[in-house]
């Protein structure tokens, strides 16, 4: 099991990082007390393959941020990490940081209160104190990201580079089919209407079958216009996917629609799924109305 501890300065991007890790397949828990890390890891171990990649966010929230607490927390964390490694868990620490001026600007923009302001600090002194309290955790870190001047898109790229074997997997493409007679596919990013093609519904021996059946698929794709449309749609999607990745999109939904969602749209959705999978893109396929 890969167990990632995410920590760092308040306002440096820990919550955004947690969301990004969840998008790329991590089981994520935010704001867990340091004292519970070892126990939570044991629970994850008992879950087996369901939790192969886990990320937890821990910091000074809900704690008494003073030198005694920090020394104790750091010492306990060191022991917990050694304890977990002895159990065969690959434990790593990611530390997120930003300069004081950037952190102050972010708190002002979001109008959020720094955790230490609730304990009587000004914003500047809160940041200074937190940086001191977390300095020993910084020294323990395996990974370090300074988010100064970093957009969410750039942060996603950095997370993908660090924690994905294939950084292109940071975006999942979901291909689906649907029938317009049952309503639009509302969560689609791209809707492709294939009602312009000959309809197998009107062929008696194909009517009760679906695009998952070879006979239906062969019928739909026997026409020159179907083959040309298939080529052009593949070219368009191949062009668009890198652009969506560049913008930091984590999920892209491509929906093929026909009248009933059983024949033409299913055929094209399956073909697009096979095409993208063959290119090594993380892809899923579903058919919303195939049973209707």
> How far, in Å, CA of 182 to CA of 67, rounded?
62
In the DSSP assignment, the letter for residue 61 is T
Among candidate residues 152, 114, 109, the one with its CA nearest the CA of residue 250:
152
The Cα 68–Cα 248 span in angstroms is 41
Q: Is the dihedral of CA 272, 278, 279, 284 positive or negative?
A: positive
CA atoms within 13 A on the CB side of 219: 22
List all residues 6 or more positions away from 148 whose beta carbon is below 8 Å from its beta carbon: 98, 99, 102
CA 161 to chain CA centroid, nearest Å: 13
CA dist list (Å): 61 to 10, 113, 117: 9, 11, 11
Predicted structure pTM score? 0.63
292 residues of the chain, pLDDT tens digit each? 889 999 999 999 999 999 989 988 899 998 887 778 888 888 888 876 667 899 999 876 645 455 545 555 666 777 778 888 888 888 899 999 999 999 999 999 988 888 888 778 899 999 998 888 888 888 888 899 999 988 888 888 888 888 887 666 667 899 999 999 999 999 899 999 999 999 999 999 999 999 999 999 999 999 999 999 999 999 999 999 999 887 777 789 999 999 999 999 999 999 999 999 999 888 999 999 999 9
Between 123-133 and 100-110, two packed helices, what is the crossing angle to 10 degrees?
A: 130
The angle formed by the CA atoms of residues 87, 59 and 97, to the nearest 5 degrees, is 105
Residues 287 and 261: beta-carbon distance below 8 Å: yes
The Cα 186–Cα 42 span in angstroms is: 40
List the one residue out of 260, 189, 182, 271 whose CA is nearest residue 226: 271
User: Residue 73 and residue 96: Cα distance in Å, rounded?
Assistant: 18
The answer to whether residues 266 and 179 touch, using CB atoms and an 8 Å cutoff, is no
The residue among 241, 238, 257 whose CA lies nearest residue 249 is: 241
Cα–Cα distance for residue pair 279/169, rounded to 1 Å: 12
Confidence (pLDDT) at 116:
85
Phi, psi of 283 (to 5 degrees): -135, 140
pLDDT at residue 262, rounded to an integer:
97
Give pLDDT, residue 64: 47
pLDDT given at position 166: 67
| Domain architecture of the chain: domains with CATH | 2-169 (3.40.50.300), 171-287 (no CATH)
């Amino acid at each position: 099991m890969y167990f990632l501890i995410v920590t760092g300065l308040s306002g440096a991007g820990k919550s955004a990082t947690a969301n990004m890790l969840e998008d790329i397949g991590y089981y994520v828990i935010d704001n867990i007390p340091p004292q519970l890390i070892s126990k939570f890891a044991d629970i994850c171990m008992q879950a087996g393959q369901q939790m192969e990649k886990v990320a937890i966010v821990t910091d000074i929230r809900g704690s008494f941020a003073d030198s005694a607490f920090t020394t104790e927390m750091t010492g306990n964390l060191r022991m917990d990490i050694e304890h977990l490694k002895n159990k065969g868990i690959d434990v790593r620490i990611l530390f997120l940081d930003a300069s004081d001026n950037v952190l102050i600007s972010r708190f002002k923009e979001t109008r959020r209160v720094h955790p230490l302001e609730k304990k009587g600090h000004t914003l500047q002194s809160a940041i200074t104190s937190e940086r001191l309290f977390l300095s020993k955790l910084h020294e323990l870190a395996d990974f370090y990201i300074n988010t100064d001047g970093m957009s969410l898109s750039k942060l996603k790229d950095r997370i993908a580079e660090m924690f994905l074997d294939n950084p292109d997997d940071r975006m999942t493409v979901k291909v689906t089919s649907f029938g317009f007679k049952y309503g639009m596919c509302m969560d689609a990013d791209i809707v492709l209407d294939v009602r312009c093609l000959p309809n197998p519904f009107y062929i008696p021996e194909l009517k009760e079958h679906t695009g998952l059946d070879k006979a239906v698929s062969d019928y739909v794709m026997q026409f020159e216009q179907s083959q040309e449309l298939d080529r052009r749609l593949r070219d368009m999607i191949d062009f668009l996917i890198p652009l969506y990745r560049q913008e930091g999109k984590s999920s892209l939904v491509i929906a093929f629609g026909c009248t009933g969602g059983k024949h033409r749209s299913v055929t094209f959705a399956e073909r697009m799924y096979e095409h993208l999978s063959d290119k090594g893109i993380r892809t899923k396929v579903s058919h919303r109305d195939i049973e209707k």
